[in-house]
Structure formats: C-alpha cells, structure tokens
Amino acid sequence: MAKTLFDKIWDAHRVTTLPSGEDLIAVDRVFLHERTGSVALESLLASGRMPIDPDRVFCTMDHIVSTEEGRGRNDARTPGGDVFITATRSAAAKTGIQLIDVDSADQGIVHVISPELGIAQPGLTLVCPDSHTCSQGALGAAAWGIGSTDAEHAMATGTLRLKQPPQTRIRVDGRLADGITAKDLILHIIGTLGADGAKRCAVEFCGDAIEALDVEARLTLCNMAVEMAAFTAIIAPDDVTFAYLKGRRYAPEDDQWDRAVSIWRTLMTDKDASFDHEHVFDARLIGHTLTWGTSPGQAGRLDGTTGHSDYMNVESGTPLLGLPIGGAFIGSCTNARISDLRAAADILRGQRVADGVTAICVPGSMAVRRQAEMEGIDRIFRAAGFEWGEAGCAFCFYAGGRTFAPGTRVISSTNRNFEGRQGPGVRTHLASPAVVAASAIAGRIAAP
Ligand SMILES: CC(C)[C@H](C(=O)O)[C@@H](O)C(=O)O
Ligand code: SF4
C-alpha cells in the first residue's frame, strides 16, 4: 500500500498496536529543557526509575536562563527561577543524561541546537516537552511536543503510547518572491487556514517552494505548524538536508553516513499515498505578512489592514504600515538562526533604531552568536542601537522579570502573539526578521 513519509517513519517505530487502538511507538531521542524537563526528571527520580538509555536523552537550559550580556549565565531571568536551573542540573547528573549546561559552547534554544548538533535526523522519532518540537520535522524526523508525564514515560521506557494522528499535505507551488521568507509563508498559511486549521494533524509540507528553502527556512516553517494546532510538521529529507547534516556532531560518520543517506533517500511520500486533508498555495502570491491580532491566525499582508482588536488597540481597517512601535525583538526558535540575523543586519547596516524603540536581538544559540560575531553582525546590531544578548528564549515569552512596558506595541520575530505573551499588556506583531529590522529603524511598522 502506498505510504506517506509520516506513515513510513511511524510504521518503522511501531512496537505493537494495543487493544485500545493506540500504537506503542519507539522513541529514538528525548530532548528536555529546564522549564518542563526539570519536572519530568525529578518525577522520574522520585518514582525510583532511571532513563532506559541516558545517551539518547538530551537537555538544554534555554527558557529561564538570563540572556542579558554580562549578567552571568547561572542567573535566572524569572525572579526565583534559579530552582529550574539547579534542579535540572542535579537531576541530569543523577540520571546521566546529556546535559548542555548554561556555560556550554553548545547552549541555546532546544529547537535551534538540536538540528545544529545533528541530534534531529531524518527518519528518527524525537520528542520534547515543548510545543515547538514540530520545528525539527524540517529535517525529516517525526518530532512532536509532549507533556512532562509523557517525557517521563519516554525516558523510562524508550516508547510512547499514542494513536497515529491524521495527516494533512500542504503543497506550495512556485517560488517565493525576493525578500519574502518562510516566516511570511507560514503566517500566510496560518492566516488562511486558521489557528486550528491543521488540528491534531501531522502536516507534510511539499512543493517547489519548499524544496527551494534552505534548512534554516524549513525550520522556521515547521516551527509554526503548532500555531495551526498541528500534531507536527515534516518535510521530506533531500540533498539540502543531507548537506546540512554532514559533519555535524551527532551525524553518522564514514560508511555509516553513506548507509544513512541511502536509507534517508527512501523517506518520501509514495505517489499514490493519500492524506486526510490537502491544501495548495501559490508562493508567488505571497508578500510580507504579519499578525495584527492576538492569535497567529490573525495575519495579513504588510500593505493590508487590521481587523478589530481591543487588546491590540486597532480598529478594523487600520493600515498595518505606519503603526507606531515601542519595541522590536529578533530572537526565538522561529527566527534567530544565522540566516535570520544576516537578513536583519543587511537592513540595519549603517542605520539607527528610531528614538523611543527598545530593540533587542537574542541569538538562538551560542553557536549562532559566535558565528554572527565572526561576521561582524553583532557590531551592526549594536551600532544600530540593538541590545545584543546571549542565547535563550528571552523575550519570546514572558516569564516574570524584565519585559517591555504595558501597552507597548512590539514587532517580533517570534511565533506567538497571545495576550500577555511578551509581558502584561504588551502588544505583539509577529513578522519576519527583515520586517522587524525595518520597523525598528522607522519607529513604526515598515517594509524592508
Ligand atoms: C514553556 C514551554 C512548555 C512552552 C511550550 O511548550 O511551547 C514554551 O516554549 C512556549 O513557546 O510557549
Ligand atoms: S523560543 Fe519561544 S517558542 Fe521557542 S521554545 Fe523558547 S519560549 Fe518556546
């Protein structure tokens, strides 16, 4: 029978089908972070269990760590949040899992460093107690977000019990216009299908426009699948994927590499495979896209108008272009990789952030930060008046502590614009790094 890419990975990991109709699925890798991972690790230890294979459990510190330069990386950005850091460190030592601690050169946001280190690979199952784990499907893995209890189960048994999700195919034909990015594309898709447009589905992205994206852009695309309520997203691995993975720390080596690639080449949807839902988009019709409301589905063109939102303080029909901003943030697992920073730096070079705009850039990983510094990108950001941070989730979500003033309109390269997401009363517009940079300079929402 013809199979989808997702079927192939699922079937290869099915240990058995249970009487309940659920499958018992072998989990290849578990990734944790200090916010939810600490809970899972402590609970596992309290039950007297140990990870069945600690070498396949990875953990980073990203959500609660301070990202302010020079502040000391052991510091928490959440008042009293140090417990997340210390509890994770101590539980990691007791369980023998692979901890990427605050002072590690590899530290960064889980969904940024997992691909960077080659931990996410085609054909693997990978889970993490974090909703944006779907990002990692960009490498051709089945990667999905779980709760802390399931993380505990996955660590203890190397399996998870769940029903195979329904499947959606989203094909994007044509090529994105110059300057239009994967962020514009995914905001356009969510804006069209709605914030529950892919409910509980495993989404496969395919088509010419997807094949033309580099891996970093594919990560941005898959990252936001959960914002349309998807179970996960996946892209068939291809030569672009293999070139990205080759030589990375956890990638297969030597003849193992050739064997892996020959298996990976079989990971694609068969011609006659069927999906529960299918959608087709035309990349050529997509322009700069950003959100105007408090759901990622409330998105529209930069040259368009808003709907009505009291929280966002916009009337229906207000042009997005020209809305005055007080904050600009470039960061998060959506858009804080080197290609994102380069795109923003191209716009910021020789420019200054407008008066009254607090502008902050927080690279997604310390590796991205080092690369940016090697290229002089940090100097462009600093000279423009941006604060330059150390890696972590930072202003992507409010965790107590420092944020923008209530009521501030912020243009942000992140993935969630819920009420209060970036701080009490803070009004978030999601956009690409280029639109964030251009708006920071203009002091109002502006085109790159
Ligand atoms: C804190 C964490 C569990 C949460 C998530 O699951 O996504 C966070 O990363 C987010 O983006 O809201
Ligand atoms: S950067 Fe934001 S979206 Fe990504 S894992 Fe951190 S908090 Fe979640």
**Looking at this protein, which amino acid is placed at residue 37?**
G
292 lines ligand 1 (CB under 6 A): no
Say how far apart CA 188 and CA 291 lie, in whole Å: 9
| Cβ(41)–Cβ(92) below 8 Å | yes
Atom of ligand 2 nearest to the CA of 332: 1
The pLDDT, as a whole number, for residue 222 is 99
Say how far apart CA 374 and CA 31 lie, in whole Å: 29
The model's pLDDT over 362-412, given as tens digits with 9 standing for 90+, comes to 999 999 999 999 999 999 999 999 999 999 999 999 999 999 999 999 999
184 lines ligand 1 (CB under 6 A): no
Closest C-alpha to ligand 2, atom 6? 393
> Per-residue DSSP letters for 356-414?
T-EEEE--SBHHHHHHHHHTTHHHHHHHHT-EE--SS-GGGS--SSS-PPTT-EEEESS
Mean pLDDT of 352-357: 98
> Ligand 1 centroid to 130 CA: how many Å?
5
Res. 334: pLDDT tops 90: yes
> Closest-lying ligand to the alpha carbon of 414?
2
| Cβ(340)–Cβ(216) below 8 Å | yes
Compute φ and ψ for 444, nearest 5 degrees: -155, 165
Residue to mutate, 224, 415, 430, ligand 2, most ligand atoms under 8 Å from C-beta: 415
| Cβ(276)–Cβ(167) below 8 Å | yes
What CA dihedral angle connects 61, 64, 69 and 72, to 10 degrees?
-80
Atom of ligand 1 nearest to the CA of 393: 9
Mean pLDDT of 226-243: 98
Say how far apart CA 331 and CA 442 lie, in whole Å: 19
Strand order in the sheet with 159-162: 14-17, 23-26, 159-162
Enter the tokens of residue 286. Answer: 């997509």
Nearest alpha carbon to residue 430 among 407, 401, 381, 397 = 397
pLDDT more than 90, % of the chain: 99
Residue to mutate, 397, 418, 422, ligand 1, most ligand atoms under 8 Å from C-beta: 397
Res. 255: pLDDT tops 90: yes
> Ligand 2 centroid to 131 CA: how many Å?
8
The model's pLDDT over 140-154, given as tens digits with 9 standing for 90+, comes to 999 999 999 999 999
Say how far apart CA 362 and CA 332 lie, in whole Å: 8
> Closest-lying ligand to the alpha carbon of 37?
1
The model's pLDDT over 19-41, given as tens digits with 9 standing for 90+, comes to 999 999 999 999 999 999 999 99
DSSP assigned state of 444: B
Residue whose structure tokens are 């109002």: 444
Closest C-alpha to ligand 1, atom 7? 131
Res. 76: pLDDT tops 90: yes
Residue whose structure tokens are 């063109």: 301
Contacts of 292 (CB under 8 A, 6+ apart): 298, 299, 300, 306, 307, 309, 312, 314, 318, 320, 429
Closest C-alpha to ligand 2, atom 2? 396
Mean pLDDT of 202-229: 98
> Closest-lying ligand to the alpha carbon of 136?
2
Nearest alpha carbon to residue 325 among 409, 222, 424 = 409
> Closest-lying ligand to the alpha carbon of 415?
2
> Ligand 2 centroid to 358 CA: how many Å?
20
∠ CA 129-391-141, rounded to 5°:
40
With a Cβ cut-off of 6 Å, ligand 2 is lined by 62-63, 109, 130, 132, 332-333, 393, 396-397, 414-415
130 lines ligand 1 (CB under 6 A): yes
pLDDT band at 448 (very low <50, low <70, confident <90, very high): very high
The pLDDT, as a whole number, for residue 17 is 98
Say how far apart CA 336 and CA 361 lie, in whole Å: 8
Enter the tokens of residue 148. Answer: 């802390």
The pLDDT, as a whole number, for residue 78 is 94
Res. 72: pLDDT tops 90: no
The pLDDT, as a whole number, for residue 73 is 87
Nearest alpha carbon to residue 136 among 58, 198, 192, 195 = 58
> Closest-lying ligand to the alpha carbon of 223?
2
Closest C-alpha to ligand 1, atom 3? 130
> Ligand 1 centroid to 259 CA: how many Å?
36
Q: Under DSSP, is residue 360 helix (H, G, I), strand (E, B) or coil?
A: strand
Enter the tokens of residue 371. Answer: 């690369």
Nearest alpha carbon to residue 172 among 114, 135, 222 = 222
The pLDDT, as a whole number, for residue 237 is 98
Mean pLDDT of 64-74: 93
Closest C-alpha to ligand 2, atom 4? 333
If one counts every other C-beta atom within 10 angstroms of the C-beta of residue 174, the result is: 15
88 lines ligand 1 (CB under 6 A): no
Atom of ligand 2 nearest to the CA of 33: 5
**Looking at this protein, which amino acid is placed at residue 102?**
V
- pTM of the full predicted structure? 0.98
Listed in sequence order, the DSSP H helices in 194-309 are 208-211, 215-223, 239-245, 254-264
> Ligand 1 centroid to 33 CA: how many Å?
10
Atom of ligand 2 nearest to the CA of 397: 7
131 lines ligand 1 (CB under 6 A): yes
Please state, rounded to an integer, the average pLDDT across all residues of the chain: 98
Nearest alpha carbon to residue 95 among 123, 65, 53 = 53
